[in-house]
Amino acid sequence: MATLVMLQAGQAVSYSLTGSEIVLGRHPDCQIQLDSNMVSRRHAQVIGSGDEFFVEDLGSGNGTFVNGKKIEGRTQLAHDDRLKVGPILFRFESDKKQEPKRSGITIDSSFDIGFSNDEEDGDAGATIMGAVSGVGGFGGLDIRPEAKLKAMIEISRSLAGTVDLEKLLPQILTTLFHIFPAADRGCILLKDENTGEMVPRAFKHRREGEDATVKLSRTIVNKVLEERTGILSADAASDAQFDASESISNLSIRSMMCVPMLGLEEEPIGVINIDTQNPVQQFQEEDLDLLMSVAGQAALTYESARLMTSFMEKQKQDNEMNIARGVQQGLLPSTVPEVEGYEFFASYHSAQAVGGDYYDIFELPDDMIGLSFGDVAGKGVPGAMIMARMSSCVQNTMRFVHEVGPAVEAINDHMCDSAVEGRFVTYVLVILDTKNHRLSLVNAGHMSPMILKPDGSIDEFPEESIGVPIGVMEGFPFEVVERDLAPGEIVVLFTDGVDEAMNPEGELYTLDRMREFIKDNREKNAAELGQALLADVRRHANGRPQNDDITIMTFGRVS
């Protein structure tokens, strides 16, 4: 026989649905009379037809709700559905029972934590016996201060030195079982940082071999999280009046406490839930207040352990990045060639531990010097990996190819073979003939080098001589540009970290300022000019951190 179980003021009253139409309302003629001024005279009706039952609102002022949702029109009822009429809650019990719906996660083969379907939105108030506000995550510290101090000392001592999060949570439950001897089962749920959902992370039960399944009230958990309040709930399984409700008695919980774990910013990071199956040793409000205090200390300990874990991971990453920095520095030349009548200078400063800028200087046969200079699209670790590959490719190519055009074409084809989408290299390769004082240059998508003349004027290569970046188009025919290098002339190569250096006001260094600075320092030699340019970029930045790698190379003939 189908029934409606009314849950109100901690009691349950069952109504058999024997007629085809059962009216609920305030009027004395209603089959189920409800004494509340929030209920309409004829509020709603339940209509039975065979094994199927429907509920229909009769134009009430406050509406009728099924499982927390306001109904429109006739709505079919299923076993264990929640019916709310004004402030009064009912549970619909049907002979045609279904398997309890659950929404939970099995942690491992030894235990299971899930949400019980017997309590939906708004229905938990019937069994909530007390609540404690989460004042700073510790409850009211002026209530039973001696017991709270002892409990917090105990949990602090038991958790001291534990930084492994997987070991910390079970240890919290073990300590709670010492503090609350009546506790039979306990579990901890933590908020997933990606989804924001509460995920079961630890479980403990006192007696081995018993049912290790814990069902939590979704409503109580939501109330704990939203209101940052600890909840004490006495389940109806201990009351003979609830024998008709099998779904409640199946929970096998006599008393339960659920409290939030509040983090450093007073936001819930998790929930602690403990319950007892002993009808004699039920939890009291003073136990709830004590658990609230202990949960506050446990939450701070967990946050500290989590921060320590993050710090140790950061240290490990920093150490690895320092090793990577050393490896990358090893790919750069440690010295510059010493050639009579010429000067060379190069500096490299990455925005992060490693960067995507690249340069190399190497001696070739017949008094030739190769100068390789590039900027990978991207910085940090991805840029550094492309930079390392580029360095290896250039070194291997220049061992066998000493003409600038064929060399760049070979480098480009090799980089295109296994190019990473969106990762290219703007690149300049110069071969300097120090005997005939002539340079040959290929520019693959990079900014034109600036050539400072002794009279203070600056030469730049035409834009039409600039080809596509390395790694973009296989078989591209790059143009070779040749030029004599007169005494006193200095060639300046740079990456966009120079002209795009930014000060605290957001102003860029710009190419125009760079040209003026080079003109104003024409009395300096190549090394002095490179050092002065770097210093001027630093002055412009005025302490603002680099937003890109800064690399400068200068070389020229002594006047």
Which residue is associated with the tokens 């209101």?
A: 227
Contacts of 391 (CB under 8 A, 6+ apart): 331, 358, 360
CA–CA separation, 111 and 406 (whole Å): 68
The b/e string for 430-452 (b: 16+ C-beta within 10 A; e otherwise) is bbbbbeeeebbbbbbbbbbbbbb
Query: pTM here?
Result: 0.53
Residue 133 is predicted with a pLDDT of: 57
Using CB atoms within 10 Å of the CB of residue 323, give its burial: 0 to 12 exposed, 13 to 18 middle, 19+ buried: exposed
DSSP code, position 439: E
Q: pLDDT (tens digit, 0 to 9) for every residue of the chain, 559 residues total?
A: 788 888 765 466 888 888 788 999 999 889 999 988 888 999 999 998 767 899 999 989 889 998 878 898 899 998 878 888 888 888 888 876 554 444 333 333 333 445 554 444 334 443 565 565 554 444 444 445 555 566 666 666 666 665 666 777 888 888 888 888 888 888 888 888 777 788 888 888 876 655 455 667 777 888 888 888 888 887 544 444 334 344 434 445 568 889 898 877 778 888 999 888 777 778 888 888 888 888 887 788 787 777 887 888 888 888 888 888 788 788 888 888 889 999 999 999 988 878 888 899 999 999 999 999 999 887 778 888 888 888 999 999 999 999 999 999 999 999 888 766 657 899 999 999 999 999 999 999 999 999 999 999 999 999 999 999 998 899 999 999 999 999 999 999 999 999 999 999 989 999 999 999 999 999 999 999 999 999 999 999 998 988 888 999 999 999 8
Spatial CA neighbour of 44 closest among 35, 467, 34? 34
CA distances 317 to 119, 162, 313, 320, 355, Å, are 46, 22, 6, 5, 16
Q: Which residues pair with 457 in a beta bridge?
A: none
Contacts of 208 (CB under 8 A, 6+ apart): none
CA–CA separation, 336 and 295 (whole Å): 64
DSSP code, position 456: S
CA–CA separation, 237 and 279 (whole Å): 9
HSE of 441, CA atoms in CB hemisphere, 13 A: 26
Q: For residues 130 and 234, is the Cβ–Cβ distance under 8 A?
A: no
Question: How crowded is residue 197: how many other Cβ atoms within 10 Å of its Cβ?
Answer: 11
